[in-house]
């Protein structure tokens, strides 16, 4: 389990994570997609995923899989909605990668390891957040293709 001080550091710096995430999106995704991420819909998804990141870091080993299922489902649902309004897979995946990067950078920015144990805890947290981020990307891809499959099947039924 990740140390409580690392989890609390991340929790205390929620606003920095969101700021870094939005800055990381600028210029890397379509302008209209970036504008949508600045709306309550975009920030709502980010806040939900942030909560799951904190929950994942604090989860006992037997709880981690359940949390990752929630992460994948949330990312899948958000991606499905974004794909339904026309956003591409690249833009959708870049948001997840940027979010993971924002989590890691914020944590690294606020943790100054003073011992081997502190360094080990920080590394464990970064690795856990990478696993978390991989799960977001997996959910994003699944949501995009679920929307695309539904759209394509609807086109075939109409023909």
Q: What is the pLDDT of residues 38-76, one digit of tens each?
A: 777 778 889 999 999 999 999 999 999 999 999 999 999
Give the residue among 100, 105, 117 at the shortest CA–CA distance from 5.
117
What is the three-state SS of 31-53?
HHHHHHHCCHHHHHHHHHHHHHH
CATH for the 4-158 domain, from 1.10.490, 1.10.10, 1.10.3470, 1.25.40:
1.10.490
Gap between the Cα atoms of 2 and 8, Å rounded: 10
Specify whether the CB–CB gap between 122 and 108 falls below 8 A.
Answer: yes
The reported pLDDT for the residue numbered 155 is: 53
Query: Token pair of 137, please?
Result: 């990307």
Residue 106 phi, psi dihedral angles, 5° rounding: -65, -45
Extents of the domains making up the chain: 4-158
Plot region of 30 (φ>0 → left; ψ -120 to 50 → alpha; else → beta): beta
Q: What is the pLDDT tens value at each position of the chain, 159 positions in all? A: 788 999 999 999 999 999 999 888 888 887 888 788 877 777 888 999 999 999 999 999 999 999 999 999 999 999 999 899 888 999 999 999 999 999 999 999 999 888 888 899 999 999 999 999 999 999 999 999 999 887 776 554 444
Which pLDDT score, from 0 to 100, does residue 31 have? 83
**CA atoms of 82 and 126, how far apart (whole Å):** 28
For residue 30, which of 97, 87, 96 has the smallest C-alpha distance? Answer: 87
pLDDT of residue 154: 54
Q: What is the spatial distance between Cα 30 and Cα 34, in angstroms, rounded to a whole number?
A: 6
């Amino acid at each position: 389990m990740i140390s409580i001080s690392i989890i609390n550091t991340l929790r205390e710096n929620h606003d920095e994570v969101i700021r870094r995430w939005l800055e990381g999106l600028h210029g890397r995704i379509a302008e209209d997609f970036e504008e949508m991420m600045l709306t309550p819909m975009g920030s709502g998804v980010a806040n939900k995923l942030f909560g799951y990141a904190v929950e994942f870091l604090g989860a006992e080993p037997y709880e981690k899989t359940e949390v990752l299922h929630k992460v994948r489902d949330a990312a899948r649902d958000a991606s499905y909605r974004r794909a339904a309004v026309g956003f591409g897979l690249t833009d959708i995946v870049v948001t997840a990668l940027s979010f993971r990067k924002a989590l890691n950078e914020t944590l690294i920015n606020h943790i100054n390891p003073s011992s081997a144990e502190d360094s080990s805890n920080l590394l464990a947290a970064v690795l856990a957040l990478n696993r978390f981020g991989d799960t977001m990307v997996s959910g994003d891809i699944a949501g995009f293709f679920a929307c695309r499959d539904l759209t394509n099947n609807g086109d075939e039924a109409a023909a």
